[in-house]
Structure 1
């Protein structure tokens, strides 16, 4: 019986895959673990398939390396395919630009054993920046899937959308099967708006079903962040995509009668945040990338109820 499945959804990132596969070859203390690695190629047009097939031909690790093509575009479809193909009782997702520490798999398995009510858990994700990031990047590092919540394990707070990112995230397959529907709202960062919410949606369904969501400080991952992900236009697009998902995410754990209340609260709370931000940074918004990204997130969050109404038309 396979205990642990490590799934890597990927799209046109062939040059990154050898790096992460070598990291996985270097995982320690797994002699007694039955595990597998699966690559979900989300309709790539580069040589992703060739890279994986080349590795398969010379693979000598004590786990299988499997490749699956998922032609339906979007990380949600890649994750759903991974779950269908996975044989493990635990399913871990690593983004193709996330490099795990040598003990990442071991610490994930240990944590799951120690926390049987954990439906999902993430660890520490550190930024591995190609260039020096903008000043005060820590204010928006969550947009870049960076999580550093200290050295003690703690519960996330789904009610307030305090949740781990989908990168470097471990699910208990039982929790997934019992809680997460096959048809989901968010498909991944597709189209011009790059609307996010796909990872939080999964976790909110787990929470709704009564599972706990944890932070495991002993799992360390390093997110490779190239220079272009720190440019103003990219960060603004990222912030906008996260903000536009807020209203729909809030509705997942809400009753029908609460919808108009949530609509009003999101609009008014973020309207207040926008005004405060303008007053505080009114002379810096054109030049301060971090402040500008924050402003975009507040504006998009404020507009997210109306965005949801447009989608429903």
Structure 2
């Protein structure tokens, strides 16, 4: 019997997976429970399959390393496949560019045992930058799945879209099966697409079913941020994409009669934010990338109801 499954969705992760697997092979305090590692290859066209086969050929750990190929492109489909194949009641997702601390698996397992009503929980995700990020980057670091909420466990606030990112997320399989629809609203990243919000959708569905969403600071990971992800074009694109997901996320658990009100509030609330941001940073955007990214997020949020309608009809 397996207690917890560590699932790594990957797309063309040949160069990134070795570091993650090396970190997982260095885990401590795992003697009291059974666990496994599964790789979900999301239609890669590099040598990911051959790489994992080489690992499997020499694998001599007490926990297994399994490989599954998921042909349907999209992170959401890779996660669904992971839950299907996982033998553990807890499924600990970790991205292939996110390196776990040496007690991450133990911290994930023990928190799940101590909080049986926790349907989803995440931990601290630190940024490990190839180059120095821009000044005041902490204001937009959440767009790159960097999350730090202090040193004490807290309940997240799904009603305010304050939720854990999917880069290092533990899901209780029972909560998933009770909550997650067959067809998701948001499909997540597909290849080089920067579509956002699919990880928040998981938490919103599970919260609606009555489960708790937690922050567990004992689970620490280090998100590898290459220099290209700090380039202006990338940051502006991902900021806009995060904004565009706003209305779709707010509609997930909304009653039909609430949806027009939510759409109107989203438009007018973000119109106000855009105007105030323009007044505050007028003439400074060219020299302040963080402020420019915040504006892209506000604009994305402003037009997100129209984007939601376009996708719906």
TM-score, L = length of structure 2: 0.98
Q: Which residue of 2 aligns with 1:155?
A: 155
Q: Which residue of 2 aligns with 1:144?
A: 144
Is it true that 1:85 corresponds to 2:60 in the alignment?
no
Equivalence map 1:220-259=2 (5 Å): 220-259=220-259
Q: Which residue of 1 aligns with 2:269?
A: 269
Q: Which residue of 1 aligns with 2:189?
A: 189
CA distance in 2, matches of 1:56, 1:31: 21
Deviations 1:110-143 (A, max 9, x none): 1111111100100000000001000000000100
CA distance in 1, matches of 2:72, 2:284: 42
Q: Which residue of 2 aligns with 1:71?
A: 71
Count residues with an aligned counterpart: 313
TM-aligned CA deviation for residue 275 of structure 1: 0.4
Are the aligned partners of 1:193 and 1:237 in contact in 2 as well (CA < 8 Å)?
Answer: no
Q: Which residue of 2 aligns with 1:23?
A: 23
Is it true that 1:309 corresponds to 2:309 in the alignment?
yes
Is it true that 1:58 corresponds to 2:37 in the alignment?
no
Q: Which residue of 1 aligns with 2:285?
A: 285
Is it true that 1:49 corresponds to 2:70 in the alignment?
no
Which one is further off, 182-191 or 258-267?
182-191
CA distance in 2, matches of 1:194, 1:9: 16
Which one is further off, 66-75 or 193-202?
193-202
Are the aligned partners of 1:193 and 1:240 in contact in 2 as well (CA < 8 Å)?
Answer: no
Are the aligned partners of 1:208 and 1:253 in contact in 2 as well (CA < 8 Å)?
Answer: yes
Are the aligned partners of 2:73 and 2:191 in contact in 1 as well (CA < 8 Å)?
Answer: no
TM-score, L = length of structure 1: 0.98
Are the aligned partners of 1:11 and 1:43 in contact in 2 as well (CA < 8 Å)?
Answer: yes
Deviations 1:182-208 (A, max 9, x none): 210111134887321110011000110
CA distance in 2, matches of 1:114, 1:3: 14
Deviations 1:52-98 (A, max 9, x none): 00000011111110000101100000000001101101000000000
TM-aligned CA deviation for residue 33 of structure 1: 1.6
Q: Which residue of 1 aligns with 2:111?
A: 111
TM-aligned CA deviation for residue 252 of structure 1: 1.1
SS for the counterpart of 1:286 is helix
Equivalence map 1:97-136=2 (5 Å): 97-136=97-136
Q: Which runs of 4+ in 1 moved over 4 A?
A: none
CA distance in 2, matches of 1:22, 1:9: 16
Are the aligned partners of 1:153 and 1:214 in contact in 2 as well (CA < 8 Å)?
Answer: yes
Gaps of at least 5 residues in structure 2 are none
CA distance in 1, matches of 2:57, 2:163: 38
Q: Which residue of 2 aligns with 1:205?
A: 205
CA distance in 1, matches of 2:186, 2:252: 12
Are the aligned partners of 2:92 and 2:170 in contact in 1 as well (CA < 8 Å)?
Answer: yes
SS for the counterpart of 2:223 is strand
CA distance in 2, matches of 1:54, 1:33: 26
Are the aligned partners of 2:75 and 2:190 in contact in 1 as well (CA < 8 Å)?
Answer: no
TM-aligned CA deviation for residue 144 of structure 1: 0.7
Gaps of at least 5 residues in structure 1 are none
CA distance in 2, matches of 1:186, 1:128: 28
SS for the counterpart of 2:285 is coil
